[in-house]
Chains A and B, each alone.
Chain A
Amino acid sequence: MKKALFLALAALTSSVLAEPAAHIDVTKLPTQSKMIDDVVVPVPSEIFAVLDKLGKPNWVAVQHKMNGVVQAPSEQPQIALLLGVVIAEGFIAVEAEDAAEVKQIGKSVLNLTKALGVQKKAQMRAKAITDAAEAKDWPGVRKQLDKALDDVSDAMKELNSVELSHLVSLGGWLRGTEALTVVVEKQYTKDGAELLHQPILLDAFEKRLANLKPKRKLNPVVNKVQKGVLEIRPLMGLPESGDISEKSVKEIGAITSALVKEITSKSQP
């Protein structure tokens, strides 16, 4: 009996010990608890999944329709940013259920990846995007667009172009954020605006831009993006308790819209 009681107590103690702490001091993480520096940027479908639950925005009004296949600008950093913007545009076209635009975007992705030297991986993906759009398989298109981002990122890492891969993510994030501000502004709610609360992502982008090779930082578009990210930071990085006001949403929208225009300049046929 005593033995059974002892065993039960031991099991209880071990299970209690295994319980995680209900609270930790995040400003004083233990010294052995080294922070991992690599921030994972959310894929667009992660944000669109939330938007799906918020209602049915007028996505056609959010779209930036393209006049033909997007042409590659001359400098690689701008091409990388543009590729991200185009992929994000693909997500908006999916929401708008615009098959013709999605197909155009598939061709544009191919054109831009060719200019970056990573078209091999993108070829299959572009076909899959077009096929899914033709079949009006919208969740399928979303999945393929997410994978297009992963493919490009992997191919660029293989080519030792991690910096360019970061610029692709940033371009996508800027267009996605611009679209988000349009949706939130149309019918402002605190819950909707809260989606813009992304301080660690802005910190990561800021850091990545600051660490770019000097010749890339000299690119005028990259330079403007770097300044824009610094302008957005205080608007999107409020303390957790602070609400993002309607005015801030407008300001974020204006900054991201100007940056997207800058990135897409020299890209229309």
Chain B
Amino acid sequence: MKRLIPLLLVLLCLAFGASPARATIDDALSFALEAADPYVKEGFTVREDYWGGDLAVKQTKAIVHQLFKGNEYWFWMGTDSKNAKISVHIYDSDGNLAEVEAFDSSKKAHMAGARVQPKKTGTYYLIVEVEKSTTERTTWSLAYGFK
């Protein structure tokens, strides 16, 4: 029995430790997809692939991504943390701000977004940031769509 206790503890940790983390990323993604919803009606196709993780306040993350001139893109960011202020911005390969429109979570709780109409086909940088939060780490997720 004594030998089983550590195993049971590990299983309990896995059961109660792993699922909330997964759940919060899924929750963050739900908010990102909720932000996408009005644009789907405008003809944007939402990709199933998404990025996600957690960040401390004032910490940013850069995602390098291929965009095609001729398409229009929306990037939608979500967080499960209601009081967090999150943002996403898009830069071209020369480091110039490329978005034509953006909103952060001060306008819509849990959500941020940025729209770009690439002037060139090539590499773009998506910079996600947690600007304010009441928690040490804030879970985020980023989805995108094109038309």
Interface residues of A (CB under 8 A from B): 18, 20-26, 29-30, 32-36, 38-40, 42-43, 45-47, 49-50, 53-54, 143, 146-147, 150, 191, 194-195, 197-201, 240
Contacts and interface: CB of A to CB of B under 8 A. Distances in A.
A46 B118 CA distance: 13
B136 interface: no
User: Top 3 A-B pairs ranked by shortest CB distance?
Assistant: A50-B70, A20-B89, A33-B60
A45 B62 contact: no
A40 B97 contact: no
B64 interface: yes
B146 A26 contact: no
B95 A24 contact: yes
Interface string B118-143: 00111101010001000000000000
B122 to A, nearest CB: 5
Contacts of B131: 18
Contact of B62 (A18, A23, A34, A43): A34
6 contacts: A20-B97, A22-B97, A35-B61, A36-B63, A36-B64, A200-B123
A197 B122 contact: yes
Given A18-B131, A34-B61, A39-B66, 19 more contacts: A18-B106, A21-B97, A23-B95, A23-B96, A24-B127, A25-B95, A29-B125, A32-B60, A33-B59, A35-B63, A36-B53, A40-B65, A43-B47, A45-B45, A46-B68, A50-B70, A50-B71, A195-B69, A240-B93
Question: Interface SS of chain B: helix, strand, loop or mixed?
Answer: strand
Nearest to A14: B106
A54 B62 CA distance: 31
Contacts of B82: none
B87 A40 contact: no
Interface in B14-70: 45, 47-49, 51, 53, 58-66, 68-70
B102 interface: yes
Contact of A36 (B47, B62, B68): B62
B64 A42 contact: no
A35 B93 CA distance: 14
Nearest to B60: A33
A30 B65 CA distance: 18
Contacts of A36: 51, 53, 61-64
Contact of B94 (A26, A200, A201): A26
Contact of A53 (B48, B64, B70, B87): B70
